[in-house]
Amino acid sequence: MQALVLDEPGCLSLREIQVPDPRPGEVLIRVQAATTCGTDLKAYLRGHPQIPMPGVFGHEYSGIVAAIGEGAPFEVGDAVMGVHSAPCRSCFWCRRGQENLCESIMSTKVLGSYAEYLLIPAHIARANLFHKPAELTFEIASLLEPLSCVAQGIELLNLRSDDRVLIIGPGSIGLMFVAALRLLGIESVTLAGRNRARLDVGERLGAMPSLLSDISGNFDLVIECTGNVEVWERSVDYSRRGGTVMLFGGCPSGTTASFDTKRLHYDQITLVSPFHFGTNAVRTARVWLIDHRMDLSPLISGTRSLDEGESTFEDLRQGRGLKYVFKP
């Protein structure tokens, strides 16, 4: 089968690799849609600690079951959607209800959705692979993973419907936060950024678009979705006394941020910075995706074939488009 391989930053090649054979509990999927992700772009630009190189690439997917190992809870021909990781459910963190921090969640994940087939390990097939309803397209179903990250973030908050929320960064994650918060009944969602086309998408999803330079403080909740250290630091300026700042975008490793201690303490600003997701967040995201009131189609910028790997990531590098779908 053909698979996109990330050889080194900036270099993707299409290789012929063996179709894996499912062992007990495993599920082999014929990939129907595999969406690009900000994490993949980071890996393409500068490498990523969680994405080995050279290695098969892509982690968002939906597809049709092509073969199963003994005892796997699916049948050949089932349309499925899933995520690329699952917690062990036995380590310290899993037992403490912090599955997103499971000590083996990253080492047992699966990569390689930019390929004709993807083998889902047994523990992921058991916990985080689902039947895809017919009314949900494969393209949108492939968004389950990033939406699970958003659901994990929202799990950490005590949202109120009258909260005034500022989202900084109109990339696909910022836009999914807009869609999720609007679905949850939050009326006042401001989306700040520079990219006009992306702000327009935010407006379609129900946010008030704005340039960050036009914004003054006093939000109940600020959600930072840029992964830029300076923006992390400035996020606190937009929070009201007693507000919450969610630092969602991961910054390059080795970077540090500093904050005004007086503001954090005397204004009692809560900082949260969620990582990845547990099974509960995946279930929440699945319910949202199926809800007809949530329409994430404006996030899909186009369809690409596997031999357009490099040009697709070059487009993303230039800020053209939000998410592309590979249809292998």
Q: Point out which residues bind Zn ion (CB under 5 A).
A: 37, 60, 87-88, 91, 94, 102, 145-146
Residue 186 or 296: the one with the smaller Cβ distance to Zn ion is 296
* Pair 57, 5: CB distance under 8 Å: yes
Residue 163 or 224: the one with the smaller Cβ distance to Zn ion is 224
- Token readout for 110 is 């699966």
CA torsion through residues 83, 84, 90, 96, sign = negative
Q: How far is the CB of 60 from Zn ion (least distance, A)?
A: 5
Residue 94 or 231: the one with the smaller Cβ distance to Zn ion is 94
Residue 127 or 166: the one with the smaller Cβ distance to Zn ion is 127
Type of residue found at 37: C
Q: How far is the CB of 16 from Zn ion (least distance, A)?
A: 26
Residue 90 or 268: the one with the smaller Cβ distance to Zn ion is 90
Q: Is 165 helix (H, G, I), strand (E, B) or coil?
A: strand
268: left (phi over 0), alpha (psi -120 to 50) or beta: left
Phi and psi of 142, rounded to 5°? -70, -10
Q: Which residue in 27, 32, 58 sits closest to 134, CA to CA?
A: 32
Q: How far is the CB of 96 from Zn ion (least distance, A)?
A: 9
Residue 87 or 321: the one with the smaller Cβ distance to Zn ion is 87
Based on C-alpha coordinates, what's the Rg of the chain? Answer: 20
Residue 18 or 253: the one with the smaller Cβ distance to Zn ion is 253
Q: How far is the CB of 12 from Zn ion (least distance, A)?
A: 17
Q: Which residue in 120, 125, 130, 105 sits closest to 50, CA to CA?
A: 105
Q: How far is the CB of 95 from Zn ion (least distance, A)?
A: 8
Residue 270 or 273: the one with the smaller Cβ distance to Zn ion is 273
Residue 236 or 285: the one with the smaller Cβ distance to Zn ion is 285
Residues in contact with 269: Cβ distance below 8 Å, sequence separation at least 6, in sequence order? 236, 239, 241, 242, 243, 244, 245, 263
Q: How far is the CB of 10 from Zn ion (least distance, A)?
A: 20
Torsion on CA atoms 117, 119, 124, 127, rounded to nearest 10 = 60
Which DSSP category does 136 fall into? S
Q: How far is the CB of 169 from Zn ion (least distance, A)?
A: 15
* Distances, alpha carbon 62 to alpha carbons 121, 195, 217, 280, 291, in Å: 15, 29, 40, 19, 18
Question: Could you report how far apart the first and last alpha carbons of the chain are, in Å?
Answer: 10
- Token readout for 77 is 């021909």
Q: How far is the CB of 314 from Zn ion (least distance, A)?
A: 19
Element spanning 302, H or E: strand 300-304
Q: How far is the CB of 176 from Zn ion (least distance, A)?
A: 11
User: CB count, 10 Å around CB of 311?
Assistant: 12
